[in-house]
Amino acid sequence: MGELSRQLLYKARWHGVEMRVADRWFPSSKTCSGCGVVKEDLDLSTRTYSCGTCSLVIDRDLNAAINLARWQPAGPSAVTLLALTRAALLSTA
């Protein structure tokens, strides 16, 4: 665990916050927050997400934030074992 992750986990526990860590390769930017379709290719220079399936057009970062807020871990880990009330999301990318 890196120093930043360690400090975030410490602060989360201190303030009674659940910290969930998404997998590094979770496609938060490539997944449509409207219908869930995952794009195969999305360049980093593309700042607006446009879904060809449901016609959603949204800022790329907002789309990723919505997907991370909805994300649920597949199973318990050392970080997700905090059974508390609020959630802090950390992408390990």
- Write out pLDDT tens, residues 20-77: 788 888 999 999 999 999 999 999 999 999 999 999 999 999 999 999 999 987 766 5
In this predicted structure, the answer to whether residue 93 has a pLDDT above a threshold of 80 is: no
Q: Which residues of 52-69 are buried (b: 16+ CB within 10 A; e: fewer)?
A: eeeeeebebeebbbbbbe
pLDDT at 5: 86
DSSP conformation class of 56: -
Contact 77, 19 (CB under 8 A): no
pLDDT at 1: 63
DSSP conformation class of 35: T
Separation CA 18–CA 84 (nearest Å): 5
